[in-house]
A and B are shown apart, each in its own frame.
Chain A
Amino acid sequence: MASLSSVETIIQILLQFMPVWIAMALTFAVSYYFRDKLGLYGRLFDTYTGSIGFALVVFWLFTAILADLVITFDPIDQLAGMRKKAPGTLVPDTFNAYLLGGDLMGRDVFSRMVMGSRIVLSIAPAATIFAFMIGITLGLPAGFYGKKLDTILSFIANLVLAFPVILLFYLLVNPAIRSTGIPVAIAAVLFLFPIIFFVVLFQSRYYVQPSKRNIYVGLTLILGFWAYSGLAFNQDPLQLLGLEPIFYMDPNLLNIFVSVVFVNAPTVFRIVRGLTMDIKTRDYVAAAQTRGEGAWFVMLWEILPNARGPLIVDFCLRIGYTTILLGTLGFFGLGVSPESPDWGMTINEGRKLLAYFPHMAIPPALALLSLVLGLNLLGDGVREQSLKD
């Protein structure tokens, strides 16, 4: 069977990523040109750590967005003749090669790796954002009021943190548990927090301007509950009207999502609580109180914005942890459908024949590694630059 030489394969892979390169080059050129006006983001380019981290993250981000242009074959198509074929092997009767070889089922490893980024990057950041909303909404009052409320909330957070993570996943993702509706119930609770967060955010600030307040709070409630019914219960109102739903989440995905949010929120809670306890002693907090601001205004508009530095750093790092967590879940075959090109699952499949056919497991493993490395470097870069302020 004909195949490309290794140099040709590498060149072909690089060419295949062309849309990503172009997008990255544009991003970097624009960001670098305006870096003095972009605050913290602009200063990221002052350090190697920050630039490299940012490059890696942006690479995978664009890969996920432009995956349809990058892939060479459908990641699910199985070509019997291509099973376990080495990288660069040409598919019979075409001029296209399986650039990183074929897997056990004869699927294209390269395309699966590229498509895999889409799964990770659609869950990890979103799940992290949800975890932050919950951690912030609970951490602020815990740190601000202290006393009993803090004791109770911290106890619950510790309870969740003390539970072995993998075991928790096995339980949540287990079909038997799923049929009891527990994951949906958890989702119902967890997904409520972003709505609460935004309603309180707007109410506390704009209660002095009722007309503005009504618009913001109203919009939040409409959009929030629309998304809420779709994501948590799969009951998008549009669906009931017989239209294509906008907010929809695959039940498998919902499980993963809920579990990831569930285990990450307590850590965010603790960080926010600690920062709040520190910042609430500042004079500007007292100044806000002495002009009669409510507690939530003080928490959300005086304390939270000034806690953003450490939170942004943690956000970057946490997407990295979440990515690893998703990989772990996939590796154990939890949650994701067996066909999907999830990185963790691909690694697990390739693991069995690692000694003979390393090309199946190594590409997704490297992909996972480089994305997490990029996120960690980015986090470090942000931390370094934010301390210079």
Chain B
Amino acid sequence: MKIESILATKSLNVITVRPDQSLKDAIDLLVEHDIGALIVVDELGQPVGIISERDIIREAARTEPFLDQNVARAMTKDLIVASPQDDLGAVLQTMIAGHFRHLPIIDQERLIGVISIRDVLKVQLDEYQGEVDTLTEIIEGQD
């Protein structure tokens, strides 16, 4: 299964933040949209980093006060991105190995979505559950 099957049922809006915005702004956006990470984009809308709850907590632990610090200071700059055609199994392996939980999706050099490890696990769980249900119904449906 591919990433596009996750994107098909997700909002078209990608919630982003600029590097020069404050961490308070970032937290407000996370709370408002009930999400765990924001893609940091430059003035052209190109991703330059990602900032997650974990990045903000890390910054809070080392800087006080931290809310006025800018996003660029706390964000993860080594951004790994995926395409809609990437395989979910491979992506999950990469996320686990790399200890990250959110992945920006780029299509034709355009940011089109973000998927979380929860999204990937949910789709995979549904797939396995679907296979179990199909087999169960075949067995129960036998004459």
Do A and B assemble together?
no
Chain B interface residues (CB < 8 Å from chain A) = none
